């Protein structure tokens, strides 16, 4: 069994329900996120379009974070999830540096690395990840990518040719897929990030969680 | 900022979380800088004892001591950078050997052991023959200890500026630069080296500076031709701003000024100019290392 995630960006409407569900389920501290939805506006008025991209850990088959972790705090579990043992983590932040997707952060409360675990604790109890349950349009599809009869496998087959992963050139083999993605939504270098401005705040950078 | 955005798409991030700040900051710069000195002086002592055995004999204990101090500064900054520093022992009891951090920590620990042996043989036992035997193994181990940080940076996928081959060479050059500079300064107190030995150290310093400068310039010009992340990263030292200023201050003080001063010292047979070059090299190296460490972290990864 290899669990994977697929987000259909055609369906996502940027409600951030997944983001909040994740925060609540995993008690993610303020100023940190396991899952976030990024808005990118494309075009020039009046021909404009807003895109929404949920971003979380990609649970790579060849995970740079697992490789660089000096104490195996980041480790694979049998179902393909890249999990984290926060009791073992020494907080070196090597994984934060190694992740090409910016998916790992230092938890300011535990002073250890943390990230999306595909809600491994829920999965172990045969429940879906919190973000999947919260999504009002079923844009999040979760399941076994090695089982051709699973929903995710069928979705990938149905959308063959329009399934993307982020940064495939890094050779990480992500187990997180997007349907309807493009350069603007999946490549952080393909959009302007205006310093000091976003819709609701003027914070552009936060100090790394916690202290030394 | 340089990026792939084109006017036709006019893509702008309108809502996102704040990006994380610098993860590896000045503490890691101190780590790399101190390690360069700690291993660099060992390389230089090995060279001097081979070429100038008589006049460099009295450097055995002082160099072992300086190396021990700087390697411990390196280890101290390594540990204090950990968010859970009291779990440092996990590296020894739960080691993950694919990680350059683990391999580096083990090697550095062994290196400290060898340095203690050097201190013991030079200060307590006063046995030069045994010191030289241990120094050979210390020098050999100093090579991977110097290099492992390059491996660690190379393991940072998507920080494309840090490539193993160039970072390895830069680490070795930083060690020879700072090692020769430190020995030149140490001779102020030991005062045993002939002008020829000091000139040799000066030449090592000058060539390390020149080679490192050429590598950085090559990265600056040709790096952006390889990967989009490198274009975006190097924009921080090309398009104005604090890191551009710091980058050039570092290049000038660590490489250009010491190179010119060494040339002047050779022309004038002046040891004092060599010492000035050494001060510039050691100070400038910190700035160079810091800029190169920080700029890839300014890039949004997602």
- Give per-residue pLDDT as tens, A134-180: 999 999 999 999 999 999 999 999 998 899 999 999 999 999 999 99
Is it the case that residue A203 has pLDDT exceeding 70?
no
Q: Is B24 helix (H, G, I), strand (E, B) or coil?
A: coil
Nearest residue on chain B to A90, alpha-carbon basis: B84
Contact A5, A142 (CB under 8 A): yes
Confidence bin at B8 (pLDDT 50/70/90): low
Q: Which two tokens stand for residue B296?
A: 């890839």
Q: Is A127 helix (H, G, I), strand (E, B) or coil?
A: coil
Q: What is the mean pLDDT of chain A?
A: 92
Structural domain includes residue B237: yes
Facing A42 at nearest CB: one of B11, B15, B87: B11
Residues of A with Cβ-Cβ distance to B23 under 8 angstroms: 93, 96-97, 106, 208
Structural domain includes residue B19: no
pLDDT of res. B15: 86
Residues of A with Cβ-Cβ distance to B167 under 8 angstroms: none
Element (H, E) at A182: none
Class of residue A76 by CB neighbours under 10 A (exposed 0-12, middle 13-18, buried 19+)? middle
Is it the case that residue A200 has pLDDT exceeding 70?
no
pLDDT of res. A45: 83
Structural domain includes residue B4: no
Kindly report the number of other CB atoms within 10 A of residue A207's CB atom.
Answer: 13
pLDDT of res. B66: 98
Average pLDDT rounded to a whole number, residues A114-131: 97
pLDDT of res. A209: 61
Helices B257-268 and B195-222, interaxial angle, to 10°?
150
| Residue B57 belongs to domain with CATH number | 1.20.1630.10
Is it the case that residue B100 has pLDDT exceeding 90?
yes
Class of residue B297 by CB neighbours under 10 A (exposed 0-12, middle 13-18, buried 19+)? buried
Class of residue B206 by CB neighbours under 10 A (exposed 0-12, middle 13-18, buried 19+)? buried
Count chain A–chain B contacts defined by CB atoms under 8 A: 199
- Give per-residue pLDDT as tens, B11-39: 988 888 878 889 999 999 999 999 999 99
Do A91 and B94 count as a contact with CB atoms less than 8 A apart? Answer: no
CA A168 – CA A111 distance, rounded (Å): 31
Structural domain includes residue B271: yes
Residues of A with Cβ-Cβ distance to B24 under 8 angstroms: 93, 97
pLDDT of res. B87: 97
Do B19 and A93 count as a contact with CB atoms less than 8 A apart? Answer: no
Residues of A with Cβ-Cβ distance to B12 under 8 angstroms: 40-41, 191-194
Task: For chain A, list the domains and their CATH numbers.
Answer: 3-190 (3.30.70.20)
Structural domain includes residue B13: no
Average pLDDT rounded to a whole number, residues B36-58: 97
Residue-number span of the structural domain to which B108 is assigned:
26-298
Facing A199 at nearest CB: one of B15, B94, B96: B15
Average pLDDT rounded to a whole number, residues B138-163: 96
- Give per-residue pLDDT as tens, B111-123: 999 999 999 999 9
Structural domain includes residue B195: yes
Q: Which two tokens stand for residue B77?
A: 């900054």
Residues of B with Cβ-Cβ distance to A194 under 8 angstroms: 12-13
Structural domain includes residue B17: no
Facing B21 at nearest CB: one of A44, A102, A205: A205
Structural domain includes residue B83: yes
Class of residue B136 by CB neighbours under 10 A (exposed 0-12, middle 13-18, buried 19+)? exposed
- Give per-residue pLDDT as tens, A26-61: 999 988 999 999 999 999 888 889 999 999 999 999
Nearest-neighbour CA in chain A from B99: distance (Å)? 4
The count of C-alpha atoms lying within 13 angstroms of the C-alpha of A139, restricted to the half-sphere facing its C-beta, is 26
The count of C-alpha atoms lying within 13 angstroms of the C-alpha of B248, restricted to the half-sphere facing its C-beta, is 9
Task: Report the domain count for chain B.
Answer: 1
Instruction: Give the closest residue to A138 by CA, choosing from A30, A52, A24, A13.
Output: A13
Do A40 and B10 count as a contact with CB atoms less than 8 A apart? Answer: no
How far from B244 is each of A21, A75, B249, CA to CA, in Å? 42, 39, 9
Facing B13 at nearest CB: one of A70, A193, A200: A193
Do B302 and A188 count as a contact with CB atoms less than 8 A apart? Answer: yes
- Give per-residue pLDDT as tens, B177-195: 999 999 999 999 999 999 9
């Amino acid at each position: 069994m290899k669990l994977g995630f697929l987000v259909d960006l055609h369906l996502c409407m940027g409600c951030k329900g997944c983001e909040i569900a994740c925060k609540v389920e995993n008690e993610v501290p303020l100023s940190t996120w396991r899952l976030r939805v990024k808005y990118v506006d494309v075009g020039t008025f009046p021909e404009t379009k807003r895109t929404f991209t949920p971003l979380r850990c990609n649970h790579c088959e060849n995970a740079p974070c697992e490789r660089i972790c000096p104490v195996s705090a980041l480790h694979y579990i049998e179902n393909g999830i890249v999990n984290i043992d926060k009791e073992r983590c020494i907080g070196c932040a090597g994984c934060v540096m190694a992740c090409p997707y910016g998916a790992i952060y230092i938890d300011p409360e535990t002073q250890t690395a943390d990230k999306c675990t595909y809600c491994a604790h829920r999965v172990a109890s045969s429940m879906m990840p919190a973000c999947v349950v919260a999504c009002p349009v079923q844009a999040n599809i979760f399941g076994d990518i090695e089982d051709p009869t699973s929903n995710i496998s069928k979705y990938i087959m149905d959308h063959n040719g329009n399934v993307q992963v982020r940064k495939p050139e890094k050779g990480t083999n992500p187990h997180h897929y997007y349907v309807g993605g493009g350069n603007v939504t999946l490549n952080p270098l393909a959009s302007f990030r205006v310093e000091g401005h976003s819709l609701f705040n003027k914070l552009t950078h936060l100090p790394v969680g916690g202290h030394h | 900022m340089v990026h792939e955005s084109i006017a036709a798409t006019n893509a702008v991030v309108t809502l996102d979380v704040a990006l994380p700040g610098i993860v590896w900051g000045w503490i890691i710069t101190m780590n790399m800088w101190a390690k360069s000195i700690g291993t660099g002086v060992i390389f230089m002592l090995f060279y001097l004892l081979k070429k100038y055995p008589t006049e460099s004999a009295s450097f055995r204990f002082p160099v072992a001591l300086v190396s021990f101090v700087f390697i411990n500064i390196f280890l101290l900054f390594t540990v204090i950078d950990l968010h859970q520093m009291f779990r440092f022992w996990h590296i020894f009891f739960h080691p993950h050997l694919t990680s350059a951090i683990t391999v580096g920590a083990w090697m550095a620990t062994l290196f400290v052991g060898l340095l203690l042996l050097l201190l013991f043989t030079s200060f307590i036992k006063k046995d030069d023959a045994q010191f030289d035997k241990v120094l050979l193994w210390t020098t050999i181990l100093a090579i991977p200890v110097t290099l492992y940080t390059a491996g660690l940076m190379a393991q940072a996928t998507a920080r494309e500026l840090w490539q193993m081959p160039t970072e390895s060479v830069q680490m070795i050059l930083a060690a020879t630069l700072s090692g020769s500079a430190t020995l030149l300064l140490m001779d102020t107190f030991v005062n045993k080296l002939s002008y020829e030995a000091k000139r040799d150290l000066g030449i090592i310093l000058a060539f390390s500076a020149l080679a490192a400068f050429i590598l950085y310039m090559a990265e600056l010009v040709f790096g952006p031709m390889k990967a989009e992340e490198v274009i975006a990263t190097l924009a921080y030292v090309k398009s104005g701003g604090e890191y551009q200023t710091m980058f050039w201050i570092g290049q000038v003080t660590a490489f250009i000024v010491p190179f010119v001063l060494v040339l002047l010292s050779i022309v004038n047979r002046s040891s004092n100019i060599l010492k000035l070059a050494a001060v510039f090299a050691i100070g400038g190296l910190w700035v160079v290392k810091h800029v190169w460490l920080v700029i890839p972290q300014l890039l949004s990864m997602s």
